[in-house]
């Protein structure tokens, strides 16, 4: 008899949501409240934004957040919702492949069943992207750690070729093929939203393509028609929420009025959403 493994089942469910032409749509969360609101809106999964989560924890984005703090927040989110959770682990919260494997084990312990792992480098003297061989080793380590735990974690390999101006379609396809061969399950190419480019990427990548959308990007149905399997918005929702905080604060301090507060969520509704949250130990 097979031993029940709820995490494995959740991972399989999350994996099944990545369908080219019928994309998984993810309004990214950054804390428990945003995750519950997103789930309540009808999302079939919740994904974190590393930037939004970093800001909520008082840190700048870009490999500056401590792994333990990041994954403690991810654990809170995973415990708060009933849908699968994928967490953005930036570059893996580790200096080497062995450290990435440690991070993956911590991700699974937190209850998440997917990760984004990126190839961007942020040190001033480094290039914009991690060397291909190093990134392949890190993705392979992530895959091996998840497989050893018996959980088909969805490894979404992000390449910042477009976002950081490091290359175009050819370099993206080269890195995507190497990442998939190393054990990645999908490819995330933020910064690529031009329909012609997205179509070439969707056709040329032998795995689910994730596009980061936002104002000015094609709507989800158009991205679906191009073959996209996953649409997320990165830190976009968090940025919009924080923009409201600034508008409301400036209005209150400068004019003494409260118009920016119109349309806020009902206190009772929000309180009820959070009242049902299971607390992590």
CA dihedral 73, 75, 80, 81 (to 10 degrees): 110
- As a whole number, mean pLDDT of residues 60-79 equals 96
Q: Name the β-bridge partners of 231.
A: 25, 211
| Coil/strand/helix, residue 236 | helix
pLDDT > 70 fraction of the chain, expressed in percent and rounded: 97
Q: Identify the DSSP state of 256.
A: -
Question: Which structure tokens are listed for 13?
Answer: 């469910």
CB atoms within 10 A of CB 276: 8
pLDDT > 90 fraction of the chain, expressed in percent and rounded: 94
Question: Which structure tokens are listed for 145?
Answer: 């750690």
Q: Which helix (H) or strand (E) holds 17?
A: none
At residue 279 the predicted structure's pLDDT band, cuts being 50, 70 and 90, is low
End-to-end CA distance of the chain: 30
**124, pLDDT greater than 70:** no
pLDDT digits (tens, 9 = 90+) for 167-194: 999 999 999 999 999 999 999 999 999 9
231 with 27: CB under 8 angstroms? no
- Identify the pLDDT of residue 170: 98
- As a whole number, mean pLDDT of residues 118-144 equals 92
Q: Return d(Cα 257, Cα 245) in angstroms, integer.
A: 14
Give this prediction's pTM. 0.95
Question: Which structure tokens are listed for 72?
Answer: 């403690």
Least-confidence region, from 7-21, 24-38, 115-129: 115-129
Length in residues, the chain: 281
Strands (E) in 213-281, as ranges, are: 230-232
The domains found in the chain, sorted by start residue, are 7-234 (3.20.20.60)
**278, pLDDT greater than 80:** no
Nearby residues of 97 by Cβ (< 8 Å), 6 or more positions away: 134, 137, 138, 140, 141
- Identify the pLDDT of residue 1: 54
Question: Reading across the β-sheet that carries 46-47, which strands appear in turn?
Answer: 24-26, 230-232, 209-212, 186-188, 154-158, 114-118, 85-88, 46-47
- Identify the pLDDT of residue 127: 81
**79, pLDDT greater than 90:** yes
Q: Which helix (H) or strand (E) holds 192?
A: none
- Identify the pLDDT of residue 123: 78
- Identify the pLDDT of residue 4: 80
Q: 131-170 as b/e, with b when 16 or more CB fall inside 10 Å?
A: ebeebbbbbbbbbbbbeebebbbbbbbbbbbbbbebbebe
**74, pLDDT greater than 80:** yes
**281, pLDDT greater than 60:** no
**3, pLDDT greater than 80:** no
Q: Return d(Cα 232, Cα 212) in angstroms, integer.
A: 5
**61, pLDDT greater than 90:** yes
At residue 82 the predicted structure's pLDDT band, cuts being 50, 70 and 90, is very high
**Greater confidence, 234 or 280?**
234
pLDDT digits (tens, 9 = 90+) for 216-275: 999 999 999 999 999 999 999 999 999 999 999 999 999 999 999 999 999 999 999 998
Q: Return d(Cα 167, Cα 164) in angstroms, integer.
A: 8
């Amino acid at each position: 008899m097979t031993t029940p493994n709820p995490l494995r089942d959740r991972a399989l469910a999350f994996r099944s949501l990545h369908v080219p032409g019928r994309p998984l749509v993810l309004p990214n969360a950054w804390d428990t409240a945003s995750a519950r609101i997103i789930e309540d809106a009808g999302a079939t999964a919740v994904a974190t934004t590393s930037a939004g989560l970093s800001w909520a924890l008082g840190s700048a984005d870009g490999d500056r957040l401590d792994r333990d703090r990041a994954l403690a927040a991810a654990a809170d989110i995973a415990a708060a919702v009933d849908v699968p959770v994928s967490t953005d682990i930036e570059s893996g919260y580790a200096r080497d492949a062995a450290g990435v494997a440690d991070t993956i084990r911590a991700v699974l312990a937190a209850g998440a069943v997917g990760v984004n792992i990126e190839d961007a480098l942020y040190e001033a003297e480094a290039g914009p992207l991690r060397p291909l061989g190093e990134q392949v080793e890190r993705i392979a380590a992530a895959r091996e750690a998840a497989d050893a735990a018996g959980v088909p974690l969805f490894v979404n390999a992000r390449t910042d070729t477009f976002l950081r101006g490091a290359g175009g379609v050819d370099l993206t396809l080269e890195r995507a093929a190497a990442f998939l061969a190393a054990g990645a399950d999908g490819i995330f190419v933020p910064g690529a939203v031009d329909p012609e480019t997205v179509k070439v990427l969707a056709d040329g990548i032998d795995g689910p393509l994730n596009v980061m959308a936002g104002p000015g990007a094609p709507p989800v149905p158009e991205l679906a028609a191009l073959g996209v399997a996953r649409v997320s918005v990165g830190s976009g929702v968090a940025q919009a929420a924080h923009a409201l905080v600034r508008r409301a604060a400036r209005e209150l301090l400068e004019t003494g009025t409260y118009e920016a507060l119109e349309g806020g969520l009902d206190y009772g509704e929000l309180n009820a959403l959070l009242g049902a949250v299971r607390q992590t130990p």
